[in-house]
Amino acid sequence: MTPTQLLLALLLIPLGASLIAFALRWAGSATRALVTLVHLASITLVLVFSVLVINDVLAAGAMTALGHWFHLDSLGAIFLALVGGVGFLTGLYSIGYMNHEIRNGEIDIKALCNYYGFFSLFMSTMVLAVIANNVILMWVAVEATTIGSTFLVGLYGQRTSLEAAWKYIIICSVGVAFGLYGTVLIFSNASSIIADPEHATSWMVLVQNAQLLDPTLTTIAFVFILIGFGTKAGLFPMHTWLPDSYAEAPSPVSALLSAALSNCAFLIIIRYYIIVSKTLGPALPQAMLFAFGMMSIACAALFIIVQRDIKRLLAYSSVENIGIVALAFGIGGPLGILAGLLHAFNNSIAKALAFCASGNIMLKYGTRDMGAVKGVMNVMPATAVFFGAGVLALGGLPPFNVFVSEFLVVSAGIKAGNGWLTVISVLLLATVFAGIVRMVTSTLLGKAPENVQKGELSIVKLVPMAIFIVIMLWMGIRPPQPVIELLGNATKIVLNKGDAPLGISIQTPWQMINDSRQTVAPTISTTPAANSAAGH
């Protein structure tokens, strides 16, 4: 298949599935089976096409399709892997979750069709945000993700879910309107320099001509873009919609919002970071991302330590982790960027697992309150292990993947000479870890309430979580070569380095220990991360 066909398939399959799911409400008694089948086909095909497309990017480099409209490079491919992979696993988990909700009368068949319809629509808009090369289309896609997911947040139609949906659409639409203003400023600026206005909307052309942009307008535009898309990514102080929406949405949706959507929004910030770094030099965008990152981590740490609601705690953990990603980009340099991209990937996997596991707990206990959820280990041992692993991984416990990326971010901070600020961020991360351990001990241990029946939920609700754990351990112990290659290429794109070697590679601390024994290996001795580990 040609790149155009592949990317169009990725976009149109979930879009078509969404329309079919909406229409299936009139299918009578077969509705439930048919709509589930359409949903399953949609998420499976998106996963398959994502893998095919990413394989092509790995083999032949970036692909451009439909003139200048679509462009997928290694940077986009990482985020496409998240949308396709996490979309598939949370979609699979959704089937079990929604069947449970239908059986218990929490939602009706019409709401089920809406759920699957909006789920696919949401997937399609996220794919569009990742593959768009046209900057206006990027904005349209991010705004469309809000439109696609608002009804998912408000699915249950209760007071609190409607309140969350309202805050979500108003805060995100207003935030993203800032993003539009920033986009318009960059585009207007470029169209006065580039002869053909059609080309001034192309991100690739903007990167090539970034030096010609007006510095004042570019600075103002980046502020607007950081506020705009930062709102959607969940950066402090624009994060206020996030705990409400993540807590009120059905758990698989919380997982998808946190693992895929916030990263798609951050990808757009990275796209502009590349342009602006070329126009103004990296110092200003880095300082802004550093500040937003530190504030996000600090704010989240304070809320996590006192939180009593399981899903709200996980939501603040999302604020913290997107803060770490911003901090890594703020530190900059090859190691900082690489660590930031790896952390975005790692956090998504762990967060999706934690939200899915919290979904099982909610279905069983009927509450998210840590005061009422006790003894999960006795009631649902498998879910308890998944929940504990996911949540402790989020706190940065080895040997899970998040530990590796946090370690690299801290190393990058120290190497860049931000010693004191890095120490402060490590203290904040320790506070987060304390809050997380408190939640784990309080919910998994203790005596289960008497009205809660022992026994796991169905296997469909466990398999996706088992797969998440395997990926987490794999990424934590020995990350697979294709992922390392994608991350390396993506870092070069962000740094605008062309094909020049980066001089660093991703190694987990346990790999570094083995390697540092073989000190004669010249490729290892040029690796700053390995050097720093050897020096400790």
Partner 1 sequence: MSGTLIVNCLAGLLIITSLLVIGAKKPTSSALQYSLQSFVLVLIFVALAEIKHAHELNMWAITAFITKVVLVPFLMYRALGSLKDPAAETAVISTAATVLIAALIVILSYVVVGHVQLPAVANLKPALGVSLGHFFLGLLCIVTHRNILKQIFGYCLMENGSHLTLALLASNAPEIVEIGIATDAIFAVVIMIVIARQIHRTMQTLDAKQLTALKG
Distances (CA, A) of 365 to 228, 313, 327, 373, 463: 38, 17, 37, 7, 20
* Smallest separation (angstroms) from partner 1 to the CB of 394: 19
Distances (CA, A) of 116 to 36, 37, 356: 8, 10, 17
* Smallest separation (angstroms) from partner 1 to the CB of 144: 6
* Smallest separation (angstroms) from partner 1 to the CB of 132: 11
- For partner 1, the closer of residues 436 and 469 by Cβ is 436
The answer to the question of residue 108 lying near partner 1 (CB under 8 A) is no
83-98 core/surface letters (b: 16 or more CB in 10 A; e: else): bbbbbbbbbbbbbbbb
The answer to the question of residue 303 lying near partner 1 (CB under 8 A) is yes
Which segments of 9-132 are extended strands (E)?
63-65, 70-72
The answer to the question of residue 217 lying near partner 1 (CB under 8 A) is yes
Which span (99-107, 175-183, 280-288, 426-434) binds partner 1, by CB under 8 A?
A: 175-183
Q: Cα dihedral angle (63, 66, 68, 72), rounded to 10 degrees?
A: -30
Closest residue by Cα to residue 337 from 412, 226, 263: 412
The answer to the question of residue 444 lying near partner 1 (CB under 8 A) is no
By CB under 8 A, name the one of 54, 111, 112, 185 that touches partner 1.
Answer: 185
Distances (CA, A) of 76 to 19, 81, 271, 278, 448: 26, 9, 10, 19, 45
Pattern 113-142, partner 1, x by CB under 8 A:
-----------------------xx-xx--
* Rounded distance between C-alpha atoms, residue 35 and residue 120, angstroms: 11
* Smallest separation (angstroms) from partner 1 to the CB of 187: 6
23 HSE (CA, 13 A, CB side): 7
Which span (173-181, 259-267, 444-452, 524-532) binds partner 1, by CB under 8 A?
A: 173-181
Query: Which residue bears the tokens 């909700």?
Result: 101
The answer to the question of residue 164 lying near partner 1 (CB under 8 A) is yes
What are the residues whose beta carbons fall under 8 Å from the beta carbon of 328, sequence distance 6 or more?
293, 336, 337, 339, 340, 343, 409, 412
Number of residues that bind partner 1 (CB under 8 A): 53
- For partner 1, the closer of residues 201 and 489 by Cβ is 201
Residues 226-285 that bind partner 1 (CB under 8 A): 243-244, 247-248
Residues 304-323 that bind partner 1 (CB under 8 A): 306-309, 312
By CB under 8 A, name the one of 42, 133, 146, 346 that touches partner 1.
Answer: 146
- Contact (CB, 8 A) for 47 and 10: no
* Rounded distance between C-alpha atoms, residue 408 and residue 528, angstroms: 10
Binding stretches for partner 1 (CB under 8 A):
136-137, 139-140, 143-144, 146-147, 150-151, 154, 157-160, 162-167, 169-170, 173-174, 177, 180-181, 184-185, 187-189, 191-192, 197-198, 200-201, 214, 216-217, 220, 243-244, 247-248, 303, 306-309, 312
